[in-house]
Amino acid sequence: MDFSCNSATFRRGPLWWNDSTPPDNGTQTEVDDQRFVYYDGYWIRYYQPPAESLLARKNLIESLTRRTFHHTEHGINTPGHALEEARAAFENETDDRKKRVNAAMLAGALFNRATDIFRTVVELGANGVKISRNNELMQECGQCFKEALDLGKQVKHYSGQEGIDELWGEPFRAFTVPIEQFYESRFIKIAQAMCNIDCVADRMKQVLQPLPSFEDADRLIDYFATAAKYECETMRSDSVNNFLIWPEFVSASERLAEFPGHPYRDPQLPVWLHSNGTKLIYDGKSLIQWIALARVPMPVSTEMFIDECNEFKSATLRVKQPLKQQR
């Protein structure tokens, strides 16, 4: 596992494909006794979907629901039995800001109600009671998931920066499509997340590399971005890789966040602008971390960060230009 590569060399070369033409999406290969699948420019660690069954679907939905709440704002993991109260609070609220929060809390209650129902269906099935898709319980389960999905636009990431609709919609998708098809959609989202990570990392380097004060930052950025891509694709249940990748990811994040730069190496760069540069590194580190852990792209936050990069670059040009004119 190579952590020293960058966006141009990550899983590239003869081990991965033999000519200049990229593989078709869905192509699989085996490298170092591990299987990978190709989507949209990235080789992603492949995990075999579980066999189709109600129990497997229940376990998947429960896992996705927990993960969804883990990556969203606090206070919205409303228990399913409080659905009616959550709905009443949402409908009665008139303040726009509070109503958004109530909508998120209602969405949480709907998710948990749907998960509760599906768990009951599986338990009934284990006791020999067959429940068809047309059964009232299954209809209510699907309706709860759908309504929760519709309200998902009101739910923010725990950073507060944006909603992550794609993550919020995963439990509903796991309910409606075959498990194998759901896994395929996850691989596609991971590829999109990896692309997003590379976009953020590359823009950070473009802005910082010309500045002597931030020499060596590109090496730390590349290392962290690579660790983030490994983390993005690795399931928590993968004990073989998880105990290697998670420590690398955390330690690489810490090294990048603590990078002080070289404030006295560039006399043209004022202290306040150097501080802005270290803040830029920290913000980029945080964004990459959020994307890797959520395993979905975050376009709104990325756009905000790109704007921050552009503002920093403009500020450095404004500071340096008058000095050049004085010579």
| Domain positions in the chain | 54-176, 193-326
Q: Please tell me which residue, 246 or 131, carries the higher pLDDT value.
A: 246
Q: Which residues of 218-239 are buried (b: 16+ CB within 10 A; e: fewer)?
A: bebbbbbbbbbbbbbbbeeeee
Cα–Cα distances (Å) from 306 to 174, 294, 310, 313, in that order, read 33, 20, 6, 11
Residues 112-122 pLDDT 10s: 999 999 999 99
Neighbours of 164 (CB within 10 A): 28
CA distance 80 to 115: 8
Measured distance CA(148)–CA(41) in Å, rounded = 32
Q: What SS3 state is found at 235?
A: coil
CB 163 within 8 A of CB 76: no
What predicted TM-score, i.e. pTM, was given to this entire model? 0.90
**Stretch 296-304: mean pLDDT, rounded?**
94
Residue 307 tokens, joined: 């704007």
What number of other Cβ atoms are within 10 A of residue 160's Cβ?
Answer: 8
* Candidate from 74-88, 112-126, 129-143, 160-174 with smallest mean pLDDT: 160-174
Selected residue with higher pLDDT from 193 and 22: 193
Output Rg (C-alpha) for the chain, integer angstroms: 23
Q: Given pLDDT bands bounded at 50, 70 and 90, which one contains residue 326?
A: very low
